Structure 1
Amino acid sequence: MSDTTSADPAGGLTALQGTALYVGAVLGTGVIALPALAAQVAGPASLVAWCALVVLSVPLAATFAALGARHPDAGGVSTYARLAFGERTAVVVGWCFFFTVPMGAAPAALFGGQYIAAATGGGNTTTTLAAAAMMALVTAANAAGLRVTGRLQLALAAMLTLLLLLSVTLALPHARWTNLTPFAPHGWSAIAPAAALLVWSFAGWEAITHLAAEFRRPARDLPRATALALAVVGVLYLAVAFAVVTVLGASAATADAPLGELMSQGLGGNARLLAAAAAVLLTLGTMNAYYAGVAKLGAALGRDGALPEWLARGSTAGEVPRRSLAVISTLTIPSLIATGVFHARTETLVSLTAGLIVTVYAVGVAAAVRLLPRRSKGRTAAMVALAAVVALLAATGVYLAWAAVVSTAALLYLRFKPRPIPSPQPEPTASAVGSQ
């Protein structure tokens, strides 16, 4: 099978499909557990943390939308870094984002697999097989091309949105206002650690920049998709968090599947089965969006010399980056074996992945400050986002060490990568010499 398909701008991503990709990238598996965990840390006051993070997502999302609309390229943040800071920074940030999927896909898939195993009564083998099946499905969808990816994502996002909104709407009649008191049982200072716990639920705004050139009209459709996704993600997160606190109350912190319990209140039926259905939709949506973006990035890095040139096929709009997709899919296998078979801590892999993503955010918003026109809304958003990302860097702490390792490897590759051998030039003929 060829590595490319013919470019067809008219058949590119629509604003609605782009919205679905954003929703899948940002609305991750954290929605299954984090509303309850945040409530455990700060009580009902955790709702303040949710509201704050929804508000902070606006400048971050607006920054990457402005960059993507102005510089639509498969390189995404790597391209912005090259334009703003030069080759070395571009290679570093490109490698940091490229290796988020090999590091983070297995824990994400296993998280969904655990819910399937719990619902079916299976064990570790069921969890690992379910995770492998989801990874294979996402790889196959992306190998078929962006049209299939966009349609799959649209279906997943629609089903997930309907399921969550229906569950919340039907559960709210069981809400008790008394569950909001005391509002801050652990003090107002507990809101900050709750926000730090929740912040990773809002990662993903950078992932779709690598697909900016795949939109039919990037300058128009990318900002629209971002705005729609912000609205959908904000409403879903706040609705689920409010329902978990007011419907489940103190029992949310001790429930094995708090989202499942909430859905059971609204829809009836087995909470574990409902939670498993939500987990599968969330996991597939997140992985599908990241696989699509990172595969496109890998092709762009091959094109730009930051990875082997063999990966370059698929970097042009409309092409399918199957070689890059094959590489990242293969690199996820050791991570799956380490976590699924040898029981490595998934929390550690997630935190290491977060260190890579925060590094990408930092470079991306710094590039936006430099590239976007002065006095523009995008640059103003970038200035606000930069302050927020600095706080994220401080919160990530020791896990930035892995980003430093990847960055060092990227610079070493740039320094010692094989140089192309110049083609031998033919000796000038006598007639050519005479004519000079």
Structure 2
Amino acid sequence: MNTLRRSLTWVQGTALTIGAVLGCGILILPSVAANTAGPASLAAWLLMSLAAFPIVGTLSALVQKVPSAGGITAYAELAFQKKAGAVSGWIMLGSVPIGVPIIALTGAQYITSVTGAGAGAVTLIAAAMLALSLFLHLRGLQLSAGIGTLIICLIILLLAAAVAVSLPHVTSGSFHPFLPHGWHAAGSAAVMIFFSFVGWEMITPLAEEFKHPKRDIPISLFAAAACVGLLYTLTAYVTVGTHAYGDEKGIASLNLLMANGTGRTGVYITACLALFITFSTVHANIAGFSRMVYAMSREGHIPKYFDRLHQKNRTPVRVLTTLGAIFFTVLLIQWVFQLNPEVLLKGPSAAFIASYVITMAAGLKLLRRFGIGWWSALASLGLCIGIYSFSGWAFCYPILLGLAGLFYNRRK
């Protein structure tokens, strides 16, 4: 039987969604955004936290209508035509395989920066995180999701501790002047912050593995959106309120926040937090992406080779093993050539946003006109198009991927 195993609950779904969204950005972006816009960066964090809900609302409505492992590719295919599903899927093929190992490297660099470990440890830590995640996914999503839930609980606990020990050090003077660099700087900060709210779509390809997908996935999405928005905003608030940013303080704001109440011990707590956050992000993205690729193969958008499931664990074994080979190739290239991770992430980031544009357009076509889901899709579409216009040279990257998908499906 070539079907996925239904084992997930809304609790595990919420943890996986938080893990997909709450990425390495929380380690550095509060201080980077504050450097850019000063206290006004808080307004940008709040705006992006609120903007996540229309996106979540659209995905929630779509997954109830189409609970498929294809996720966003299935929505595009149903709304437009089969070729649209292929285009959407091929755009995503250029995101996770490159983006996930870079995320692992970013987290590993943060860990080594606060612990003083050597440069060679960065690649080893990243490789270990990727290997562990792939192994757990090969064993089955129930085990994988259970461990992911435990890690998310630890992350929330540690972030809450960082906020709690910093609150007594917040001063009102830190919020004045509120707009030291003007509203344009606040807008620039919002563009950077948007990438900390990407990843909601990674829960949708798991629809065929939820016990009650039409009920539990919307609960998972909205609960995760509330939790992530609260954590981001509180962390940004204490970063600004304690003035844990500025050129002389670097960008490791969480390290400074922990040091407020725990001293040197905070360095090692922050390293553990960075490890947990990076692993959870990697883990959740692999979960959703591997199921999406499996569904693409099942639908014929990519070679049928990838639609094989593990006989016992019912996991997409060929997708996961191929991902492993790609991940470690990316790590090897990065280790040899020492490329700039920020440059490498621009393409995958643009691919994520382009996939959101297609998904929200599909929502306008599929959802009841002028209903809550339809209005959410309309608002999200405008936001995503606006953000996509700032992607620079990476603007062309998803277009090329989409054309490759059209070419492959035309040859069939």
TM-score interval (norm. to shorter)? over 0.9
CA distance in structure 1 between the aligned counterparts of 2:31 and 2:389, rounded to whole angstroms? 25
Identity %: 35
Correspondence list, 1:112-123, <5 A: 112-123=107-118
CA distance in structure 2 between the aligned counterparts of 1:412 and 1:8, rounded to whole angstroms? 33
Q: Please name the residue that 2:323 is paired with.
A: 328
Deviation track 1:5-49 (CA, whole Å, cap 9, x = no partner) reads 87553xx21111111011011111001010001100110010000
Correspondence list, 1:98-177, <5 A: 98-177=93-172
Correspondence list, 1:191-202, <5 A: 191-202=186-197
TM-score by length of 1: 0.90
Equivalent of residue 85 in structure 2, options 83, 90, 96: 90
CA distance in structure 2 between the aligned counterparts of 1:354 and 1:25, rounded to whole angstroms? 14
Equivalent of residue 203 in structure 2, options 198, 208, 214: 208
Instruction: Please give the secondary structure, in 2, of the residue aligned with 1:13.
Output: coil
Q: Please name the residue that 1:272 is paired with.
A: 267
Equivalent of residue 390 in structure 1, options 371, 381, 385: 385
Which amino acid is 2:98 matched to?
Answer: M
Deviation track 1:374-431 (CA, whole Å, cap 9, x = no partner) reads 23221121111111111122122320222122122212211224xxxxxxxxxxxxxx
Q: Are residues 1:306 and 2:311 paired? A: no
Higher mean C-alpha deviation, range 271-280 or range 139-148: 271-280
Equivalent of residue 354 in structure 1, options 339, 349, 355: 349
Distance 1:321 1:7, change over 3 A: closer
Distance 1:228 1:252, change over 3 A: farther
Equivalent of residue 57 in structure 1, options 52, 59, 62: 52
Q: Please list every run of 5 or more consecutive structure 1 residues that lacks an aligned counterpart in the other structure.
A: 418-436
CA distance in structure 1 between the aligned counterparts of 2:248 and 2:240, rounded to whole angstroms? 10
The alpha carbon displacement at 1:214 in A equals: 1.5
The alpha carbon displacement at 1:266 in A equals: 3.0
**Residue 115 of structure 1 contacts residue 275 of structure 1 at CA under 8 Å; is this kept in 2?**
no
CA distance in structure 1 between the aligned counterparts of 2:3 and 2:302, rounded to whole angstroms? 23
Q: Please list every run of 5 or more consecutive structure 2 residues that lacks an aligned counterpart in the other structure.
A: none
CA distance in structure 1 between the aligned counterparts of 2:145 and 2:244, rounded to whole angstroms? 38
**Residue 37 of structure 2 contacts residue 186 of structure 2 at CA under 8 Å; is this kept in 1?**
yes
> Highest Rg: 1 or 2?
1
The alpha carbon displacement at 1:328 in A equals: 1.7
Deviation track 1:250-285 (CA, whole Å, cap 9, x = no partner) reads 547733521111012133334432221121111111
Which amino acid is 2:206 matched to?
Answer: L
Q: Please name the residue that 1:367 is paired with.
A: 362
**Residue 167 of structure 1 contacts residue 267 of structure 1 at CA under 8 Å; is this kept in 2?**
no
Distance 1:8 1:291, change over 3 A: closer
CA distance in structure 2 between the aligned counterparts of 1:14 and 1:315, rounded to whole angstroms? 22
Correspondence list, 1:8-87, <5 A: 8-9=5-6, 12-87=7-82
CA distance in structure 2 between the aligned counterparts of 1:315 and 1:298, rounded to whole angstroms? 15
Higher mean C-alpha deviation, range 331-340 or range 66-75: 331-340
Which amino acid is 2:73 matched to?
Answer: S
Deviation track 1:271-309 (CA, whole Å, cap 9, x = no partner) reads 432221121111111111110011101111111111111
CA distance in structure 2 between the aligned counterparts of 1:84 and 1:171, rounded to whole angstroms? 48
The alpha carbon displacement at 1:145 in A equals: 0.8
CA distance in structure 2 between the aligned counterparts of 1:84 and 1:354, rounded to whole angstroms? 24
**Residue 84 of structure 1 contacts residue 371 of structure 1 at CA under 8 Å; is this kept in 2?**
yes
CA distance in structure 2 between the aligned counterparts of 1:6 and 1:250, rounded to whole angstroms? 50
The alpha carbon displacement at 1:91 in A equals: 0.6
The alpha carbon displacement at 1:65 in A equals: 1.5
Higher mean C-alpha deviation, range 260-269 or range 275-284: 260-269
Q: Please name the residue that 2:229 is paired with.
A: 234
CA distance in structure 2 between the aligned counterparts of 1:65 and 1:190, rounded to whole angstroms? 33
The alpha carbon displacement at 1:216 in A equals: 1.2
Deviation track 1:351-371 (CA, whole Å, cap 9, x = no partner) reads 111011011101101001101
Distance 1:242 1:277, change over 3 A: same
Q: Please name the residue that 1:428 is paired with.
A: none
The alpha carbon displacement at 1:341 in A equals: 2.7
Number of aligned pairs? Answer: 411
Q: Please name the residue that 1:413 is paired with.
A: 408
